[in-house]
Chain A
C-alpha cells in the first residue's frame, strides 16, 4: 500500500468523524512535510502506533478550546480533563478502526494512547519525515500527523 493511500485513509477518517459526530464539516489544509524539526503538538494528542510492513505513528493533536466546542456540539457539558482526553482518544480510536478495516492484515495497529502535554516526547521512526495535515474546523485548527517509515 502506498503512502498516499495510507495517509488518505487517515485524513478521510478524521474528516468523516467531524461530519458524522460533530455534524459540521472540517476542512483539510494543504499537507506538508515536517522538515528539520518535529511537528508542533497542541494541548491534547491522540496517538495510534502502527507496525508490520511499515512502522510509524499517527497523531491527532488539537487545542483544548476546539475540543471543548466539539463537546458542546455533542451536547456534552462536561469539559473536564478526563472527558477531553476521552474525546481525543475517541478520534484516535476512529483512526485505529478505519486503519484496521482498510489495511486489514498488512499492518498491526496498536492500542491508541492520549498525551496531554504540548512537549510530550514523541518517538518518530528514524529516517522519516512526518506528513502534517492541518485540519480546520470552525475557527479552530488541529493537526493530523502521519509518520511512517519508508
Chain B
C-alpha cells in the first residue's frame, strides 16, 4: 500500500493568501511523489497540491507562489505547463521530469526555473531551484526605488487629502452655523481652510504623479524582464560576496548549463568548467575589481576569463568543449550597497574554431613548401617505400575500426591496435625526418594515449582519430602526387622538356599538383 501524504492539504482552488512562508503549489497525481516531496520541503513552505493545472483558479495570478510540476506521471504534463505559463506568467515553476534535457529550450525563456530529473529529487538541485524561485518572487514583488517612493508618496498623500477635505467641510459647516461663535477661532478656522484649499491641488498633483511613477516603474520592470529573457548573451550580476545576483538573462542557464545560477557563488559555478589555476586567477581578478582604488580599464585588460575553453559533460559520455568569453564591469550605485559587477558571457566557439582553422590553413601552406623540400632531400625510393607502408598501416587501422563490436574490451583492443600501427608509421616518418607526417601522427597518438587511460570508452570517442586518419590519408596522397610530378620532371630529357614548355617553371607545376590534391 502506498503511504498517504496526510500532511498535505488537497484543494482545487489556489487563493491568494498572505503568508510569511512561501506558497508552493505542487501539480501531481502521484502520491509517492507527493510523499517524497513533502518530506523534502518539510514545514518550510505552505504547500498546496492539485491534480492538474486546469483546476487552478485564474484569479490566483496575483498570488505569490511558486509551482513544482510533476511531468513524469500525467500524460498531458506539457499541456499543464503551457497552461500555467499562460495563466500565471509571474509564478516561477520547477519541472520534475524523467528527461530534463527536453526542457532545455523552455529553461532559456519564460518562468521555468529548472528541470530536475525525478531521480535527483533529493539532490541539492531542488533546494537550489526553490531558493532561486523564492528570490525571483522576492525580486518581482520588490519594486524599484522610484516605484517605492511613488507608493510611499501615495500612501502618505491619501490621508493628507482626506484631512484636507475634512477640514474644508468642517469650516464650511462652521461658517453656515451662524455668527454666534468665537471670532478668534473662526478666523483660525478660516485661515486653516484657506491653506487646506491651497494644499488640495498640490496633494492631487502629487497623487497623480505617484500613480504615473508606479505605472512607469511597472513598465520598466516588465521591459527589463523582456530584455533579459531575449538576450543572446548571458548577463549576470556579481555581488560583493562574489555570489551571483537574482537578475540574470535567460540564456545564462543554457550557456553555463546550469539550472539555477542565481544566488550561487561565482567560484562554484566556474569550478566544474575551469582548471584550478584559471579559477583562482578569476577569483583574484574579481576581488581586484571590487577594490575602490583599482583602475577598471587597467584591470579589464588582465581578465583571465576573456576567452576560456570549458568542458561540459556530454549526455552521451565524453565531454563537449566550448569557448566562452566573459567580460566584467564594476557598476557604482547611489550608495555603496548598490554597487555590483555586471558580467556578460558569450559563446565564442565558432569564432575561435574559425581562427584556428585559418591558422591551420596558413600552417598548411607553409608546410607544403616544407614538404617539397623534404621530398627533394629524401630519395624517391625511400619515400615511395614509406608511403606504401603508411598506406598499408592506415588501411589496417581503418579496418580495425570498421570491425564490429562496441564492448569495452573490443574498443580497447581497437584502440591499442590502431595505436600500434600508427606508432610504427610515426617512427618511420621520424627516421626519414618527414616532419609533416610526424606532427600529424603525433596529434593522433596523443588522442589515442589519452583515450587508453580512460576506463570507459564509447564509439564516439574515436571520432577525432578517424578525422585525423582521414587527414593523414589526404596528406599522403598529396605527397605521392608531388613525388610523381618530381619523378616525371626528372625523367623528362632536357631537350624535349624545353621544347614542350618554353618557359619551364617546376614550382608552378608542383604548386598545381599540390592544390589539386590538397
User: Binary interface profile of A, 16-38, with partner B (CB < 8 Å = 1, else 0)?
Assistant: 10011000000111111101000
Given known contacts A2-B357, A4-B464, A131-B467, A30 and B99 CB-to-CB distance under 8 angstroms: no
Residue of A nearest to B516 (CB): A127
Residue of A nearest to B403 (CB): A30
Residue A87 interfacial (CB < 8 Å): no
Is the beta-carbon distance between B459 and A31 smaller than 8 angstroms?
A: yes
User: Binary interface profile of B, 303-322, with partner A (CB < 8 Å = 1, else 0)?
Assistant: 00000000000111000100
Is the beta-carbon distance between B350 and A31 smaller than 8 angstroms?
A: no
Is the beta-carbon distance between A33 and B398 smaller than 8 angstroms?
A: yes
Is the beta-carbon distance between B466 and A31 smaller than 8 angstroms?
A: yes
Is the beta-carbon distance between B406 and A20 smaller than 8 angstroms?
A: no
Q: Which positions 457-487 of chain B face chain A at CB distance < 8 Å? A: 458-460, 462-464, 466-467, 469-471, 473-474
Is the beta-carbon distance between B459 and A2 smaller than 8 angstroms?
A: no
User: Binary interface profile of B, 448-464, with partner A (CB < 8 Å = 1, else 0)?
Assistant: 00000000001110111
B316's partner among A2, A28, A29, A106 (CB-CB below 8 A) is: A28
Is the beta-carbon distance between A29 and B459 smaller than 8 angstroms?
A: yes
A8's partner among B102, B398, B411, B463 (CB-CB below 8 A) is: B463
Q: Which of B354, B356, B357, B459 neighbours the largest number of chain A CB atoms within 10 Å of its CB?
A: B459
Expressed in whole angstroms, the Cα–Cα distance for A35 and B473 within the complex equals 10
A1's partner among B316, B357, B401 (CB-CB below 8 A) is: B357
Give the chain A neighbours of B357 by CB distance below 8 A: 1-2
Is the beta-carbon distance between B316 and A133 smaller than 8 angstroms?
A: no
**Number of contacts between A and B (CB, 8 Å)?**
91
User: Binary interface profile of A, 90-134, with partner B (CB < 8 Å = 1, else 0)?
Assistant: 000000000000011010000000000000000000010101111
Q: Which positions 348-395 of chain B face chain A at CB distance < 8 Å? A: 350, 353-354, 356-357, 395
Is the beta-carbon distance between B99 and A31 smaller than 8 angstroms?
A: no
Residue B404 interfacial (CB < 8 Å): yes
Residue B426 interfacial (CB < 8 Å): no
Q: How far is the CB of B60 from chain A (nearest CB, A)?
A: 33
Give the chain A neighbours of B101 by CB distance below 8 A: 16, 19-20
Q: How far is the CB of A14 from chain B (nearest CB, A)?
A: 10
Q: How far is the CB of A109 from chain B (nearest CB, A)?
A: 15
Is the beta-carbon distance between A3 and B316 smaller than 8 angstroms?
A: no
Residue of B nearest to A133 (CB): B459
Q: How far is the CB of A40 from chain B (nearest CB, A)?
A: 11
A106's partner among B350, B414, B473 (CB-CB below 8 A) is: B350
B466's partner among A12, A32, A104, A150 (CB-CB below 8 A) is: A32
User: Binary interface profile of B, 86-113, with partner A (CB < 8 Å = 1, else 0)?
Assistant: 0000000000000101100000000000
Expressed in whole angstroms, the Cα–Cα distance for A16 and B357 within the complex equals 28
Given known contacts A1-B353, A28-B460, A20 and B466 CB-to-CB distance under 8 angstroms: no
Q: Which positions 66-100 of chain A face chain B at CB distance < 8 Å? A: none
Is the beta-carbon distance between A11 and B460 smaller than 8 angstroms?
A: yes
Residue A5 interfacial (CB < 8 Å): yes
Given known contacts A1-B350, A11-B463, A129-B473, A31 and B406 CB-to-CB distance under 8 angstroms: no
Residue B142 interfacial (CB < 8 Å): no
Q: How far is the CB of B81 from chain A (nearest CB, A)?
A: 17
Q: How far is the CB of B491 from chain A (nearest CB, A)?
A: 26
Q: How big is chain A's contact interface, by range?
A: 20 to 34
Is the beta-carbon distance between B395 and A28 smaller than 8 angstroms?
A: no
Is the beta-carbon distance between A32 and B401 smaller than 8 angstroms?
A: yes
Residue of A nearest to B354 (CB): A1
Q: How far is the CB of B459 from chain A (nearest CB, A)?
A: 4
Residue B4 interfacial (CB < 8 Å): no
Give the chain A neighbours of B471 by CB distance below 8 A: 150
Expressed in whole angstroms, the Cα–Cα distance for A15 and B316 within the complex equals 8
Is the beta-carbon distance between B470 and A3 smaller than 8 angstroms?
A: yes
Is the beta-carbon distance between A33 and B466 smaller than 8 angstroms?
A: yes
Given known contacts A4-B464, A20-B99, A20-B102, A30 and B470 CB-to-CB distance under 8 angstroms: no
Give the chain A neighbours of B334 by CB distance below 8 A: none
Expressed in whole angstroms, the Cα–Cα distance for A132 and B411 within the complex equals 16
Give the chain B neighbours of A11 by CB distance below 8 A: 460, 463
Give the chain A neighbours of B395 by CB distance below 8 A: 35
Expressed in whole angstroms, the Cα–Cα distance for A106 and B406 within the complex equals 33
Give the chain A neighbours of B469 by CB distance below 8 A: 33
Give the chain A neighbours of B354 by CB distance below 8 A: 1, 106
Q: How far is the CB of B147 from chain A (nearest CB, A)?
A: 39
Residue B490 interfacial (CB < 8 Å): no
Q: Which positions 242-286 of chain B face chain A at CB distance < 8 Å? A: none
Residue A47 interfacial (CB < 8 Å): no
Expressed in whole angstroms, the Cα–Cα distance for A28 and B315 within the complex equals 13
B462's partner among A1, A31, A106 (CB-CB below 8 A) is: A31
Give the chain A neighbours of B99 by CB distance below 8 A: 19-20
Expressed in whole angstroms, the Cα–Cα distance for A28 and B406 within the complex equals 8
Residue of A nearest to B469 (CB): A33
Expressed in whole angstroms, the Cα–Cα distance for A29 and B374 within the complex equals 38
Give the chain B neighbours of A20 by CB distance below 8 A: 99, 101-102
Expressed in whole angstroms, the Cα–Cα distance for A127 and B471 within the complex equals 12
Residue of B nearest to A141 (CB): B404
Residue A7 interfacial (CB < 8 Å): yes
Is the beta-carbon distance between A129 and B470 smaller than 8 angstroms?
A: yes
Residue B508 interfacial (CB < 8 Å): no
Give the chain B neighbours of A12 by CB distance below 8 A: 314, 316
Give the chain A neighbours of B411 by CB distance below 8 A: 30
Is the beta-carbon distance between A35 and B398 smaller than 8 angstroms?
A: yes
Give the chain A neighbours of B314 by CB distance below 8 A: 12
Expressed in whole angstroms, the Cα–Cα distance for A80 and B353 within the complex equals 44
- A-B interface, 9 closest residue pairs, ranked by CB to CB distance from nearest: A28-B459, A32-B401, A32-B402, A31-B466, A29-B459, A4-B467, A30-B459, A3-B467, A30-B401
12 pairs across A/B with beta carbons < 8 Å?
Answer: A1-B357, A5-B353, A7-B463, A8-B460, A20-B102, A27-B406, A29-B406, A30-B406, A32-B401, A131-B466, A132-B402, A150-B471
In the complex, besides A16-B101, A29-B404, 20 extra interface pairs with C-beta distance below 8 angstroms are A1-B353, A2-B356, A8-B320, A8-B460, A8-B463, A11-B460, A16-B315, A19-B101, A27-B406, A29-B459, A31-B401, A31-B460, A31-B463, A31-B466, A32-B398, A33-B466, A104-B350, A127-B517, A129-B470, A133-B463
